[in-house]
Amino acid sequence: MAEHVFRRHVEDEGLDVEVDSSGTAGWHEGNPADQRTVQMLQRGGYTSAHQARQFREGWFDHYDLVIALDEGHYRDLQALAPREEHRAKVRLLRSYDPQAADLNVPDPYYGGDADFEECLELIEAAMPGLLDEVRKELP
């Protein structure tokens, strides 16, 4: 979800930024996005094409910023990062939401429609702050 929400915001602003996503584990590698995620994204007017893959250590050199949606993913990415400069690229998405009391985006996978809605709302709430951060880093 976060990939598609952020991509649209980046495109709407005309920013030249590569947006991609992956998981910290390979459980769903090769699968399309969960149909409930697709439905929620489409309801919000977002694109939804996706094929799951696992984040690779070598990608730290390619990306300027690596966003984690919860503290477990954050820890996994920190552990995978080979150097301090790579660990410094990892941030929690909700750290960009000044209203966030909890920095985790709950995984809606085992929940219902309301959980997917909440997930989308939390992601959207972090977008203005994330966009501000990205704009600061652009030439």
Structural tokens at position 88: 């410094």
Contact of 10 with 19, CB cutoff 8 Å:
yes
Mean pLDDT of 63-74: 98
d(CA 48, CA 42): 7
Alpha carbon distances (Å) from 110 to 90, 97, 98, 113, 115:
26, 25, 28, 10, 9
Q: What is the model's pLDDT at position 45?
A: 96
pLDDT band with cut points at 50, 70 and 90 for residue 27 = confident
pLDDT at 90 > cutoff 90: yes
pLDDT tens profile 92-135? 999 999 999 999 999 999 999 999 999 999 999 999 999 999 99
What CATH number has the domain spanning 2-131? Answer: 3.40.50.2300
Q: Which long-range contacts (CB under 8 A, 24 or more apart) does 123-126 make?
A: 123/1, 123/2, 123/5, 123/69, 123/93, 124/5, 124/44, 125/94, 125/97, 125/99, 125/100, 126/93, 126/94, 126/95, 126/96, 126/97, 126/100
For the chain, the structural domain boundaries read 2-131
Give this prediction's pTM.
Answer: 0.95
Higher pLDDT, 139 or 128: 128
Q: What is the model's pLDDT at position 52?
A: 96
